[in-house]
Amino acid sequence: MLNLSLVIHNHQPVGNFDFVFATATERAYDPILGLLERHPAVRLSLHYTGPLWDWLLAHRPDHVERLRALVARGQVELLTGAYYEPILVSIPDADKVGQIRRMTGFLRQTFGVEPTGMWLAERVWEPHLPRPLAEAGVRYTLLDDTPFKMAGLTDDDLFGPYVTEEQGHTVTVFGNVMYLRYAIPWHPVEEVMDWLRAQASAHPGGVAVMGDDGEKFGLWPGTWDLCWGPEAWMDRFFAALERSADWLRTRPLGEVAAELPPLGRVYLSCASYEEMMDWALPPRDFAAMRRVRRELRESGRTDILRFVRGGLWRGFIARYDEVNQMHKKGLWVSRKVHGMPEGEAKARALDHVWAAQCNCGYWHGLFGGIYLFHIRAANYANLIAAESIADSAREGRESWVWTEEGDLDADGRPEIILNTDRQVLTFKPSYGGALVEWDWRAVRYNLLNTMTRRREGYHEELLRAAEESRLILPGQPDRPDGVRVKEPDVHTRLFHDWYRRAAFLDHFLHPDTTLDGFYRAQYGEQGDFVNQPYRVQVKEDPAGLTLILTRNGTVWVGDQPIPVQVEKRFVVTPGNDLLTVHYRLMSSARFILRFGVEMNWGVLGGGGEAAFLRILRGREKVTRRPADTGEVRDVTSFTLNFPYLVRSEPRSEAEGRPAGSEPRSAAEGRQPEVTLTLSVPATLWHFPLEAVSNSEAGYERVYQGTCTLAGWDLALGPDQSWEVTLQVALA
């Protein structure tokens, strides 16, 4: 007799659109419950994440009631987990334990159960986890078979639990069998049952574990017809399981964990599932790893393949500065919140911190991940709300201003943070004196929530398919070697930036530089200011803060290096939504060049029709969209709107609950706008930052922000200076 433990994990992230929750429920989560109701002899484990629980209780309480009945009759075991589904290794231990205890308490209160098994988000494992898991009351979990094989175990060794520990804190771990994960529901039912029968003969009394996403049972492309349509794969599979009760028992994982003794002690290295570890590699290594795996499989060298590993999940934090910024801001804010006195305010702030830790905005695989703008926006909304509560509690007054200095992003170099009751501005003096995060407290929004255009490992597949005419457009039939794309020329939009897209980046461009060259990141930079260090001076008084950033750098005119000094002063004051920036350039020799100040704006919904870029040229108004590319001369100001945000007072906004399942509608209040005014008219270049991302539906361009460059043609003589003031108003 073989035990089969099926574990289905249902998840939607904080900030996802309401229609996605609804569609997933209709096409996957509801059908799974119907399947269990039709096949009462099949028993398994289910895991739902906190954001999905919140949505179901608000919008589909009938689903919760149906599930309650399945739990009550012992057919379904509910697993706990960290409530907002963070990558557990990436958050502080106090938040690990707190989030798990919150989920366990929710399940106890809602279903009357006391779960001791948990789902580990993305099965990302590191050796320190047993201690916080045990402290949170977790007795067992399941991991992919990858780390077990890396520890020297084979497929035949994975039909039972193992015990692992950290400092004497033990947790039981089960191996998630890769064959079952790939076979269900894509291989013929008969083949899967034959495999299970073979394992029952080879491992009597053991357990085969399969844990995977519930969305693959109806929501992923092509799976609705496969699982629930004429082929009815899931019903045929469950019927086959029922007919096999004489040699196969379907049991929730908790029952098996309580009955089977551990096969031994194991210590597992940092790992996740195989695909995740490949995605975490740098682009060149991603492609190389895929080739190595393919060659080893084709040559039958599974003895070597099981020791081949990709990267760590933390590689995403290393590769993407923007992800690192959001992650480290989360750690920064978590420390602030945990330092608050106990009480209702701290509880609200902590809930926002935990919601911001939802994992989907911190990594990238086949699905959107970091390139899903609205998911990043939701994470930042919760971070800003949490920090506003903590800062308000610290100050105890209506308005304030102060400076923080510290290595916020953990790169070994300090950042300068200007805090007011209205704004939080994070500068990197070591990187062009750039502004890398600009939090507008009133709308809980990071105005610089953009993504730099980077090379991805899967871009090689796209380029090769384009060269070989294997691209498949929407509506065209599939072909075995085809690559799906959403537009025919998407492969021509692969532009890769050589510096991080941020704000107040200082460029010296050759007068012949064109908008198209700058857009493609194919131009000559004549100065050494964009990503080089600036000196710092901060002046603080009750009236406000002044941050002075200065660099004595070099501008090349032909082969001639010319010393140039750039000084930029940032001024913020308490109680208002203004930022004033004053530039002063000085040269010790004559030169003629174009100076430009680059800013990259993260406009939620900037790729749609509701967003606009309104440009003032003298008395003439020019209206564009943030997704447009263009040049406008003699510009004195421009305005960006944020159609999916609503202006409110910081204190009342901070009291809100974590960001929900959809962006707020502009109909609920006045649309926020940002207006930048120039004291000296400039030539404005603007264009969208677009990532070419792969998804289950094919390659596509995805809007990630709007770049604006205000430029001036300068002719400076020896010891001459040039000045301009930029004033940014948030309204």
Going from N- to C-terminal start, the domains of the chain cover 2-270, 273-311, 318-453+495-653+663-730, 459-493
Distance in angstroms (rounded) separating the CA atoms of residues 436 and 447 = 10
Distance in angstroms (rounded) separating the CA atoms of residues 638 and 129 = 50
Say which CATH topology domain 318-453+495-653+663-730 has: Beta-galactosidase; Chain A, domain 5 (2.70.98)
pLDDT at 651: 41
The secondary structure of 225-263 as a DSSP string is: HHHHSTT-HHHHHHHHHHHTTTTEEE--HHHHHHHSPPS
Q: What is the mean pLDDT of the chain?
A: 94
pLDDT at 68: 98
Distance in angstroms (rounded) separating the CA atoms of residues 434 and 536 = 12
2-270 CATH pick, 3.20.110.20, 3.40.50.720, 3.40.50.2300, 3.30.470.10: 3.20.110.20
Tokens coding 690: 């677009």
Q: Which of 166, 213, 235, 404 is catalytic?
A: 213
Which residue in 451, 453, 471 sits closest to 461, CA to CA? 471
**C-alpha dist (Å) from residue 623 to 467, 587, 616, 662, 672:** 38, 36, 9, 28, 17
pLDDT at 306: 85
Full-model pTM: 0.94
In this predicted structure, the answer to whether residue 696 has a pLDDT above a threshold of 90 is no
Q: Which residue has the higher pLDDT, 233 or 524?
A: 233
Cα pseudo-dihedral 525, 528, 529, 533, rounded to 10 = 150
Q: pLDDT tens, 315-341?
A: 999 999 999 999 999 999 999 999 999
Kindly give, in sequence order, each residue whose CB lies less than 8 Å from that of residue 62, ignoring residues fewer than 6 positions away: none
pLDDT at 372: 94
pLDDT at 484: 95
Which residue in 363, 392, 364, 361 sits closest to 377, CA to CA? 361
The DSSP letter of residue 527 is B
**C-alpha dist (Å) from residue 212 to 4, 156, 183, 217, 685:** 14, 21, 11, 10, 47
Q: Judge residue 533's burial from the number of C-beta atoms within 10 Å of its C-beta, 0-12 exposed, 13-18 middle, 19 or more buried.
A: middle
Tokens coding 579: 């930022």
In this predicted structure, the answer to whether residue 72 has a pLDDT above a threshold of 90 is yes
Distance in angstroms (rounded) separating the CA atoms of residues 365 and 604 = 22
Q: pLDDT tens, 567-592?
A: 999 999 999 999 999 999 999 888 88
Which residue in 116, 122, 14, 8 sits closest to 67, CA to CA? 8
Q: pLDDT tens, 649-675?
A: 544 444 445 654 343 433 345 799 999
723 is catalytic: no
Mean pLDDT confidence for 599-622: 95
Same fold, 2-270 and 318-453+495-653+663-730: no
Check if the beta carbon of residue 449 is closer than 8 Å to that of residue 458.
no
Q: Which residue has the higher pLDDT, 61 or 478?
A: 61
Mean pLDDT confidence for 580-607: 94
Mean pLDDT confidence for 474-492: 93
pLDDT category at 709 given cuts 50, 70, 90 is very high
**C-alpha dist (Å) from residue 558 to 487, 509, 719:** 41, 12, 20
122 is catalytic: yes
pLDDT at 504: 98
Q: Classify strands 207-213 and 169-176 as parallel, antiparallel or unpaired.
A: unpaired
In this predicted structure, the answer to whether residue 131 has a pLDDT above a threshold of 70 is yes
Q: Which of 54, 77, 95, 122 is catalytic?
A: 122
In this predicted structure, the answer to whether residue 309 has a pLDDT above a threshold of 50 is yes
Mean pLDDT confidence for 283-295: 90
Distance in angstroms (rounded) separating the CA atoms of residues 389 and 421 = 11
The secondary structure of 370-397 as a DSSP string is: GG-HHHHHHHHHHHHHHHHHHHHHHH-S
pLDDT at 658: 61
Cα pseudo-dihedral 522, 525, 530, 532, rounded to 10 = 120
Tokens 């537009």 belong to residue = 487
Distance in angstroms (rounded) separating the CA atoms of residues 187 and 182 = 8
Distance in angstroms (rounded) separating the CA atoms of residues 43 and 238 = 10
Distance in angstroms (rounded) separating the CA atoms of residues 163 and 173 = 6
Handedness of CA 333, 334, 340, 346 (dihedral sign): positive
pLDDT at 340: 97
pLDDT category at 559 given cuts 50, 70, 90 is confident
Which residue in 113, 92, 94 sits closest to 104, CA to CA? 113
CA angle 79–82–83, rounded 5-degree value:
90
Share of the chain above pLDDT 90, in %: 87
Of 53-57, 80-84, 648-652, the one with minimum mean pLDDT is 648-652
Burial 391-424 (b: 16+ CB within 10 A, else e): bbbeeeeeebbeeeeeebbeeeebbbbbbbbbbb
Tokens 């959107």 belong to residue = 368
Tokens coding 143: 């991991």
Share of the chain above pLDDT 70, in %: 97
